[in-house]
Amino acid sequence: MALTMSRENYLKIIYILKKANGEVRSIDIANYMELSKPSVCAAVKQLQTQGYIIKAGNGIIELTDRGRSEAERVFERHCFFEEKLIAAGVSPEQAHADAARLEHAVSNESFNALKKAGLPAGS
């Protein structure tokens, strides 16, 4: 089953929080995403069932290799688009919002072609 945009966002947020804080719990995700804990728990359960994360008995959430790979893919795209938009003169806030949509919308083929083309900052 393919991941939805929402589930890709969860993986990206888990990845970001893990890098920043060292560990992640459902409440951390809920606070970061400004969502209810029950909503987050439902998403976490689904991601666990699909093999993207492991939730330990102490509530700590870890990305599996599969989950980490997907999170890194989405995070890389986000950073790429955000950087290019800011370099093109878009405000950081708007660039962040637009990158959050573009990271999901562009095919692997198109994204790899954009990366290969170089598109230096400010071009």
User: Is residue 118 very low, low, confident or very high in pLDDT (cuts 50, 70, 90)?
Assistant: confident
DSSP one-letter code for 63: E
Is the confidence at residue 1, as pLDDT, over 70?
no
What pLDDT is recorded for position 6?
94
Locate CATH 1.10.10.10 in the chain. Answer: 5-64
What pLDDT is recorded for position 121?
52
Q: What is the assigned CATH class of domain 5-64?
A: mainly alpha
> What is the CB neighbour count within 10 angstroms for residue 36?
10
> What is the CB neighbour count within 10 angstroms for residue 101?
12
pLDDT in tens, 51-100: 999 999 899 999 999 999 999 999 999 999 999 999 999 999 999 999 99
9 vs 57, which has greater pLDDT? 9
For the whole prediction, is pTM greater than 0.85?
yes
To the nearest 10°, report the CA torsion of 11, 12, 17, 19.
110
Non-local CB neighbours of 10 within 8 Å, separated by 6+ positions: 29, 33, 40, 43, 44, 47
Q: What is the assigned CATH class of domain 70-117?
A: mainly alpha
pLDDT in tens, 49-60: 999 999 998 999
Locate CATH 1.10.60.10 in the chain. Answer: 70-117
User: Is residue 120 very low, low, confident or very high in pLDDT (cuts 50, 70, 90)?
Assistant: low
